[in-house]
Amino acid sequence: MKSKRKFTSEFKAKVALEAIKDLQTTTELAQKYDLHPTQISTWKKEFLDGASSVFEKSREKKKLQKASEGKEDELYAKIGKLQVEVDFLKKALS
């Protein structure tokens, strides 16, 4: 009995990209990579369906980065204000 083969996401992406390019038929790719043509078609469909999520993640990452930068600026301003207060109080006690 054959054990189930596992493929890395990099390998799946490589095969899916080759299938999208249409330089070889699915059958030729299946022979080249020792896969079933249906598997290649499935990976190609999954790749195309998930392609838009790449850009969604980067947009979300940028929003989070902008929010953290704003929070960071606010915290630095507060630190500066507190430092001024500490310096003032030190002078007053001296």
Per-residue pLDDT tens digits for 59-91? 777 777 877 888 888 899 999 999 999 999 999
Percent of the residues in the chain that have a pLDDT greater than 70, as a whole number = 97
Contacts 24+ apart (CB under 8 A), 10-19: 12/43, 12/46, 12/47, 13/47, 15/40, 15/43, 16/40, 16/43, 16/44, 16/46, 16/47, 16/48, 17/47, 19/43, 19/44
pLDDT at 1: 60
The answer to the question of residue 1 being in a domain is no
pLDDT at 3: 77
The answer to the question of residue 56 being in a domain is yes
pLDDT at 37 over 70: yes
Task: Determine the structural domain holding residue 32 and report its residue range.
Answer: 9-93
Work out how many domains the chain is built from and give that number: 1
Does this model's pTM top 0.95? no
The answer to the question of residue 4 being in a domain is no
